[in-house]
Structure 1
Amino acid sequence: MDTPVIDTAKVEAFAMRAVGDVAAAYTGVMVSLGSKLGLYRALAGAGPLSAKEVAKRAGCAERYVREWLNAQAAAGYLGYHAVSDTYELSPEHAMVLADEDSPVYLPQAWNVPAAMWADESKALDAFRSGRGVAWGEHDARMACGVAAFYRNGYRASLVSQWLPALDGVVARLEAGIAVADVGCGHGHSTLLMAQAFPNSRFFGFDTHAASLAEARRHAAAAGAAQRVDFSAASAVSYPDHRYGLICFFDTLHDLGDPVAAARHAAETLAPGGTVLLVEPFANDRVEDNLSTVGQLFYAGSSLICCAHAISEGGTLVLGAQAGPKRLADVFRKAGFTQFRRAAETPFNLIYEVRR
């Protein structure tokens, strides 16, 4: 075999790209620290500030803060004014870094890669043995990071865009129906609907006890505990309340037997009921998913989604980039006849499914 000719320019270019990815990982740690220490909040809306002023506002040590500020300026997260030796957080960047209610707020999402690193030994064993890793076996930061990553996106779109995109569902919610949120996690999606539609009754189901405890805490804080019931049940065992709406928010692809989950939904729907399926954005072909969003979801799928599905028996391991055709096939096998893309975002595909 001939020795391949190495293009040194390509080697250097790719090495610098890899270094850029390492730098991005370092920046993620800085983002998490900045959020937890209140450094972004200290900068938000304040205009240019010196390191001393930022440190004082956040109650932190100036020398550490100055180095953090320089790291953030080098990453392009903050502006640096050399003449005044001050730092500034733009309003646009503040939406991503400081405004916890913004649909693009991201700092807590860095809990996910932190948990991935903490779980590296489990991942190595899973890859070598083929065994699964259940959701509850991950570092606790995993559930928190995933819930935070999706929460504000749901808040921005679920009630205002996704539910209205489903035929007749808003009117039924306003009149009063039973709603199941399967794989509800921390309950953010359940509570958004419960607060918007007080005449309906909401049931959140999950198998992860710690997430259910968080969901109940959120419900109590929102004053919605009387209209929302969070209980432990799998996607194939939750009780039949003749649901007018059954929701799968970024969870179907995590299940070991998604066809069985869809079949159980069919069996527990009220006549004329609807399934709302929200899945990570994906096209059907791998070559059409080779993007930043695909990079994010394929990596997460490797260590989270596929791992949990395998832990549940792995009858059909969809992964986070299942794509419309495979998802439609799941529901066709479960007896559904209507499968329609109702909406989409850069991160999610939203489907209306009916029998």
Structure 2
Amino acid sequence: MHQHHSIIDAATRDAFVARATGDLSAGYGGVMVHLGHRLGLYRTMSGAGPLAPQELAARAGCAERYVREWLGSQVAGGYVRYHPVSGTYELTAEQAMVLADEDSPAFIPSGWLTVASMWADVEKAVHAFRTGAGVPWGDHDGRLYCGVSALYRNCYRASLVADWLPALDGMVDQLEAGARVADVGCGHGHSTLLMAEAFPRSEFHGFDAHPDSIAQARRLAEEAGMGARVRFETARADAFPTAGYDLVCLFDCLHDLGDPVAAAARAARAIAPGGRVMLVEPFANDSLEDNVSSIARLYYAASTTICCAHAISEGGHHVLGAQAGEARLAEVFRRAGFRRFKRVAETPFNLVFEARP
């Protein structure tokens, strides 16, 4: 009996070792993905058909011996197709969408910058765990902002104007006619500019507590020729100007705040009669046992070192974390005085809600 039990354990252990080794391998692979992106190897392969290593190296301006070894890592991981007879390597159209097309909603290389920032900041995380202290958003390694900004820009570009705004009853008509919109916690302003581009008659104000992000948002607005129509200001989510907005947006930021109820209450004061709040948050189910997935794991990990750490740095009255789920978010808005709160859309990465007073 005992022996039988240990045999089962050995099989279970081996399966888990395989899982953990696969994860370790993925971490190594992430460095390779970053190199492929930075050196233009994926872009060079995209649409080029089968290439020999020397050909890829020549076109990308890299040394062949390194490129050949890098290609080995790509084939081993299933990121590039190998043709043994001709000794050539091919990036398929599907792989190119994920690895080469920077505007694709599935583009993944930017996400590895966030991982790099988490490693760089690991001493801060250790200190935070031991002391219970917070780590503000602005105190992280600079790669965090680029990584998060690039990933969200593509998610929003795919869904915000096409799916999420139309899910708010009558909102698109208002925006086309001319509405006032606040984008709270706007970061680099990608979400603000996407909306401003789609609705030239409306007026957009972006607010973020991180001054460097606001400076970057202003630069992007100028580059897009929307500097006059889109205003960006440094302001906390619970203290931004309340100027009678038709729509107040909180995109993937509520769970980062030290006092989400205060931010929701501020939004309630900032909306005009008949106005509403659009809340976008990371996808999560309400109970932990239903959040067992690779996406949930990614969010819990980022939440541990980034989201919760920032909320704690702001006083941490109510630390939601990035896997709050619908029930906890609804409770925040109920406490802030909203009477209506409903889920209007979702993607594998996000939940979208509409709240009305």
Relative to the length of structure 1, the TM-score reads 0.98
The number of residue pairs the alignment matches comes to 354
CA RMSD of aligned residues (A): 1.3
- Residue 244 of structure 1 corresponds to 246
Matched, 1:346 2:352: no
| Matching residue's letter, 2:32 | M
Amino acid at match of 1:157: S
Deviations 1:260-287 (A, max 9, x none): 0000000110000010000000010000
| Displacement after TM superposition at 1:33 (Å) | 0.8
- 2:163: which partner in 1? 161
Instruction: State the match for 1:230 in structure 2.
Output: 232
Report the residue type matching 2:80 in the other structure: L
Matched letter for residue 147 of structure 1: S
* 1:20-99 aligned within 5 A: 20-99=22-101
Deviates more, 1:219-228 or 1:5-14: 5-14
What is the CA-CA distance between 1:134 and the residue it aligns to?
A: 0.4
Q: Provide Cα deviations, 1:51-74, integer angstroms capped at 9, x if missing partner.
A: 011111111111111110110010
Question: Aligned-pair distance for 1:9?
Answer: 2.1
| 3-state SS of paired residue (1:105) | coil
What stretches of structure 1 move > 6 A for 4+ residues in a row?
A: none
| Distance in 2 of aligned mates of 1:20 and 1:290 | 17
Matches within 5 A, 1:192-203: 192-203=194-205
SS where residue 231 of structure 1 aligns? strand
1:219 deviates by 0.9
Q: How do residues 187-336 of structure 1 correspond to structure 2 at under 5 angstroms?
A: 187-336=189-338
Q: Secondary structure at the match of 1:107?
A: coil
SS in 2 for 1:223: coil
Offset from partner CA, 1:304-331 (integer Å, 9 cap, x none): 1100000000000000010101100100
Q: How does 1:128-167 map to 2 (within 5 A)?
A: 128-167=130-169
**CA drift at 1:138:** 0.4
Aligned amino acid, residue 55 of structure 2: E
Q: CA deviation at 1:222?
A: 1.0
Equivalent-residue separation in structure 1 for 2:213 and 2:30 (angstroms):
24
- C-alpha displacement of 1:150: 1.0
Which whole-Å CA distance do the structure 2 matches of 1:57 and 1:185 have between them?
36
Q: What are the ranges of 5 or more consecutive residues in structure 1 without an aligned counterpart?
A: none
Q: What displacement does 1:5 show?
A: 4.8
One-letter amino acid of the counterpart of residue 132, structure 2: G
Residue-by-residue CA offset, 1:63-89 (whole Å, 9 max, x unaligned)? 111110110010000001111111000
Contact (CA 8 Å) 2:105, 2:157: kept in 1 or not? Answer: yes
Q: TM-score, normalised by structure 2?
A: 0.97
What is the percentage of aligned positions where both structures have the same residue? Answer: 64
1:194 is aligned with what amino acid? A
> 8 Å contact 2:246–2:276 — kept in the other structure?
yes
Q: CA deviation at 1:213?
A: 1.6
- Residue aligned with 2:110, SS: helix
Distance in 2, matches of 1:120 and 1:5, equals 37
Contact 2:242 2:266 in 1 (8 A): no
What is the distance in 2 between the residues matched to 1:282 and 1:297? 9
Separation of aligned partners in 1, 2:285 and 2:66: 44
